Structure 1
Amino acid sequence: MTPTGLVMVLVLALVFEGGQCQHHEVFVAEGSVAVLPCVDGSSSVSHPNAVYWSKVVGNSQKTVWRREKSGLEFRPLRDLSRAKCPVPNFGKADYSLHIAETKLADGGKYFCEVEGKTKMLKVIMLRVIKASISPSIVVEGLRMEAMCHVSPETPHISIKWKQNGKFINSPIISSVSQRDAGKWTCQVSYNNMRMEATTTLQVRGISSPQNDSLVFYGSVGSSISLPCVFTDGLIPNTVNWMRVSAATNSPVLLPHSAFNSSFGLIKRVELGDEGTYTCSGLMGLNGGKIKLQRTMRLVVARVLSSSSDPMILMCNLSDSRQITSYEWLRVNYGPNNTQRVTTVQRTKNPSIRVTEKDAGEWMCRYYGNQGLLGNVTSHFYTMGALKSENSSSGNKTAMVMGLGFLFMVIFLILFQMYRNYRRKQKIHLYPAMENIVHQTITEREWKERSREKRAEACVGEPKSVCV
């Protein structure tokens, strides 16, 4: 306390000799509502004639809010609505001052003077706490510091820091990362009082993935996107993607058509796509340049099958170090292409034995410590199933051919019957002509038979007799 402030307090104490004089300390976080207590604990001042609130500013004392005996209220020209006393509370002998949206500049010494049947004076020290981050714009890889401000300052205070609810040793980070983003809270302890102030740290850079060495799993034949998302307001001029093959261990620059600033797209995962992928961007900052990059790994999954009986299905991954268990599921399809999945086996063993009756679609899910990592499906048919299918197909073909032959025979019979019917219809159309033709044929047959009989009778007779 300055000498001038001490003199003012002594003067006020003399003026209110015989009244009540009390001192209080109030801690409040910046931006919140500060309540400076001024409550008459006795019943002697239940209906005051006047209430005066003032604050020590420099070497003078300035009015913050007052209410005269006439009931008129007075406030300073600045911040008219932030500081006030709820007049309805006066009936309860409560003359506390409420300051909304508290600022660091609001910290200091306040006086509450109440004049009624008796006089009351209270001195309140308001200390405002604020948490901040320096610099105001934090970029990955650079230094940052969290700071705790107390206004007015006072010795013998204890300050501790929490990051996302957990206490940390130091508020200074030499190389900040996305893991450091979130809520930073300074906790101030003083004279058995404890108050906290919180600020939010936003780290500019690559927001997804947040960390290096993140593992992605893709099944053979499917598509997969590898993220490389930069935060708003920090877009590099160009982003390059590199892949280090697990087989050759040599870096390869990937085309911008499939690997751009937002993601790396593999339309169809194939064997050999596994390996390490890196996206990097170069950008200018404060007259210099900074390079941001992320490294991630792609693991390729597929299902292998044996030719043994029973068949063995194996869930094969190019890197299974993070896999803790496997789950095999049978996939069946119902009406309207509805899918029903049934768990058959969950074990640490990646393989399962299947028989002919298990032919169809199977799914393998693989899990890690953080839960489900991915899945891969397989369609297979055992030899018995193939024979059964071929036999069924042959039976269907034979049945179709037999039915076709039967229909052809029936058609020919019906066609012949139709022709005969038409022939009969034509005969009845010309009866006279038919009789002449029939008579002529009959006479011709009779003459031929007579000639044959005469020839038989002349056998052995002289020619003169048989002429």
Structure 2
Amino acid sequence: MLLDGIIFGLLASFVTVARSGTVEVLVEAGSQAVLPCKCSTESCHPASVIWSKANEGTVWRKERSGLQYWGSSWSQKDGQRVRCPHSQFDKGDYSLQIERVKEEDGGLYLCSIGFRTHVVTNRVMLRIIKVSANPLVPTQGDDVSVSCTVTPWPKGAFVNWILNNKVFIPTTGVISNGDGSVFKDKATERLTGTWTCIVNYIKVGRASTTLSVAGIIQPPQDDTKLYAALGSTLTLPCAFSPGLTPTETVWEKLEDGNSVTPKSRDPSLSSSDTSYRIQEVLLDDSGRYRCAGNVKGQTLSRTMQLVVAQIVQRKKRDSVMLTCQVTDSSEIKEYEWVHVTYDLNGTESAGPVQKGQTVTLKNSWGGWTCRYYGRDGILGNVTYQVPMMSGQSGQKSSAFSSNAGTVTGLSFLLLILLLVLAQMYKNHQRRKRIFQYPALETIVHTISNEQEEKERRRVKE
């Protein structure tokens, strides 16, 4: 291998050597780097090619016969990390591919192409960009640094930071040195996400890393709004990162400063989850809450707001009005109503959607669901069951008016029948009293016969 290099060097000393400018290649650590090397002459195949790194010797070489060789230091590093695609040789393309590049791979590379009596040398500067966080998973309140290094560092380059696809302009804590840029601060949830370092030089390169801050992960940030329907069951979340076991945990409602203690802890929750469960949400439950716990000697806390929704019914002469009310409507952009009914088989069907905070119903009993939306989509919903009597009050009033005469007539006939029955009962009782005295009965019977006889004689005359 050494002999081949000496021979190639002697050959190069007797031929014309063409040198071009240095090509810049910026890649992220761990990715693939492609170092360009092309023969600009129309016919330079077959050719001998040597790839070498400045001050480190041969990386890869190919003879005109097609035989390939790797430098000893490269053939033993994590397997075969360097190669040139054979399919490109006949096109004069001898670009070198380096897999899983490392910081130590950065530096100046030379590609020498020998054909006929010429040697063409291409210079490629490979720069490795690496972004790292220390520590990788800090706890809230810990010191954390995010660094961007370029190996070797290009003079005159400058760095921009992107956090979660948005330009990050730190006000304090940025340190620039000869190798890159370092950002330092206290770990908070606002630093969680994907950090991207953009290096601006002759070319633009970038590299990224993910920073996770251990602490309270649910809710993800302070003053998170949670929506619940009146009478529903709700869990106010307060979950710490896996592996963290908080002590001295506490819940409090910030309006009155009183502690809120769950009636019972859900056995299915892990030791890092201190969420608070409300069995039946009431209007008085609305407001701001704070959960807190001690982790590694420091208190971590998170605030949230519970917003309660309800449907209020108002009756009119021939209709019912339903209004969707929430205790805080600052984030609500739209309301919509859906009428839900069920057939005899229990199949659910939904009617057309109506817009607005208030809906007016006529003869529409059953379930009505109010859904309310914010800027990013639905926030919650609440359902109300309209009683059948309320929905059909107008029909029943009309039916009563049309049947009033019939009811009155039936009542009068029933009254006459009761009077007749009462009179019959009195006559029966009177006869029973008379039959108890036989002499009196004979006298009454005789008088009755005499009166009948007198009547008959009068009629004959």
Q: Please give the TM-score of this superposition, normalised by the length of structure 2.
A: 0.71
In the TM superposition, 1:292-441 aligns within 5 A as 292-306=300-314, 308-309=316-317, 310-343=319-352, 345-347=354-356, 350-355=357-362, 357-381=363-387, 382=389, 385=392
Aligned residue for 2:258?
251
Q: Could you list the per-position Cα deviations for residues 76-122 of structure 1 after superposition, in whole angstroms to 9, with x for gaps in the alignment?
A: 14324012233443322222221111111001111222333122222
Per-residue CA deviations over 1:367-422 (Å, capped at 9, x if unaligned) read 33333222222223345847959x99xxxxxxxxxxxxxxxxxxxxxxxxxxxxxx
**Structure 1's 28 and 255: CA in aligned 2 closer, same or farther, altered over 3 A?**
same
**1:136 partner letter:** L
Q: Which runs of 5+ in 1 are unaligned?
A: 1-10, 393-467
Work out whether residues 253 and 288 of structure 2, in 8 Å CA contact, stay in contact via their aligned partners in 1. yes
Aligned residue number for residue 193 of structure 2: 182
Distance 2:330 2:115 in 1: 80
Contact 2:109 2:123 in 1 (8 A): yes
Structure 2 residue runs of 5 or longer lacking an equivalent are 1-8, 175-182, 401-461
Give the Å deviation of 1:209. Answer: 1.3
Task: Name the SS of the counterpart of 2:285 in structure 1.
Answer: coil
> CA distance change for structure 1 residues 388 and 73 in 2, over 3 Å: closer, same or farther?
same
Question: Partners in 2 of 1:69 and 1:330 — Cα distance?
Answer: 81
Q: Deviations over 1:249-305 (max 9, x none)?
A: 132231372476433222222332222222222111xxxx22222111112222223
Aligned to 1:74: 70
Residue 264 of structure 1: which of 276, 280, 283 is its match?
Answer: 276
Equivalent-residue separation in structure 2 for 1:85 and 1:16 (angstroms): 27
CA deviations 1:51-71 (Å, max 9, x no partner) are 2222124xxx42212234663
Match of residue 279 from structure 1: 291
Give 1:45 deviation, angstroms: 2.9
Partner amino acid for 2:261? L
* Identity value in percent: 34
Aligned partner of 1:316: which letter?
Q
For 1:199 and 1:218, the matched residues in 2 are separated by: 37
CA deviations over 1:215-251 (Å, ceiling 9, x no partner) = 1121122111222222233x123362413175xx132
* Of 76-85 and 259-268, the range deviating more from structure 2: 259-268
- AA matched with 1:74: W
Deviation sequence 1:317-337 (CA, Å, 0-9, x none): 333333333323322112421
Q: Is the 1:65–1:76 contact (alpha carbons within 8 Å) kept by the matching residues of 2?
A: no
Letter in 2 for 1:300: V
Cα deviation for residue 211 of structure 1 reads: 0.9
| 8 Å Cα contact 1:327/1:343 also seen in 2 | no
Displacement of 1:159 after TM fit? 1.5
Residue 12 of structure 1 and its aligned partner are, at CA, apart by 9.5
Alignment match of 2:208 (pick from 181, 194, 198): 198
Q: For residue 416 of structure 1, what is the aligned residue in structure 2? A: none
Q: Which amino acid aligns with 1:269?
A: V
Indicate the residue corresponding to 1:41 in structure 2. 40
The higher radius of gyration belongs to 1
**In the aligned structure 2, how far is the partner of 1:47 from the partner of 1:223?**
78
SS at match of 1:174: strand
How far 1:42 moved relative to its partner? 0.8
Q: Deviation of residue 32 (structure 1)?
A: 1.6
Check whether the contact 2:60–2:68 (CA below 8 A) recurs between aligned residues.
Answer: no
Compared with structure 1, are the counterparts of its residues 360 and 66 closer, same or farther at alpha carbon in structure 2 (3 Å cutoff)? closer
Mapped partners of 1:16, 1:140: distance in 2:
66
Task: Mark the CA change 1:23 to 1:17 in structure 2 (over 3 Å): closer, same or farther.
Answer: farther
Deviates more, 1:167-176 or 1:198-207: 167-176
Do 1:13 and 1:121's aligned partners in 2 also have CA atoms closer than 8 Å? no
The one-letter code of the counterpart of 1:380 is V
* Offset at residue 22 of structure 1 (A): 2.2
> 1:105 and 1:311 mapped to 2: Cα distance?
77
Q: How does 1:81-230 map to 2 (within 5 A)?
A: 81-118=80-117, 119-170=119-170, 172=183, 174-191=185-202, 193-230=203-240
CA contact (8 A) 2:364 2:391 kept: no
- In the aligned structure 1, how far is the partner of 2:365 from the partner of 2:282? 25
Find the aligned partners of 2:391 and 2:303 in 1 and give their Cα distance. Answer: 47
Q: CA deviation at 1:127?
A: 1.2
Q: State the secondary structure of the residue aligned to 1:122.
A: strand
In 2, Cα distance between the equivalents of 1:294 and 1:12?
73
Give distance in 2, aligned partners of 1:306 and 1:197.
61
Separation in 2 of the partners of 1:47 and 1:367? Answer: 69
Task: Mark the CA change 1:250 to 1:38 in structure 2 (over 3 Å): closer, same or farther.
Answer: closer
- CA spacing shift, 1:302–1:41, aligned 2, 3 Å: same
Helix, strand or coil for the counterpart of 2:124?
strand
The count of corresponding residues between Structure 1 and Structure 2 is 366
Report the Cα distance in structure 2 between the residues aligned to 1:16 and 1:294, rounded to whole angstroms: 76
The TM-score normalised by the length of structure 1 is 0.70
Query: 2:365 touches 2:390 (CA, 8 Å); kept in 1?
Result: no
SS of the residue 2:126 aligns to: strand
Give the Cα–Cα distance (whole angstroms) in 1 for the partners of residues 112 and 60 of structure 2. 11
Contact 1:16 1:120 in 2 (8 A): no
Partner AA of 2:348 in structure 1: Q
Secondary structure at the aligned position of 1:272 is classed as: helix
Whether the 8 Å contact between 1:16 and 1:121 is mirrored in structure 2 is: no
Q: Is the 8 A contact 2:27 2:205 kept in 1?
A: yes
- Whether the 8 Å contact between 2:197 and 2:208 is mirrored in structure 1 is yes
Structure 1 residues 384 and 84, CA, compared in 2 at 3 Å: closer, same or farther?
Answer: closer
**1-side partners of 2:277 and 2:291: how far apart?**
12
* Separation in 2, partners of 1:321, 1:37: 58
1:456 is aligned to none
Structure 2 equivalent of residue 62 of structure 1 = 57
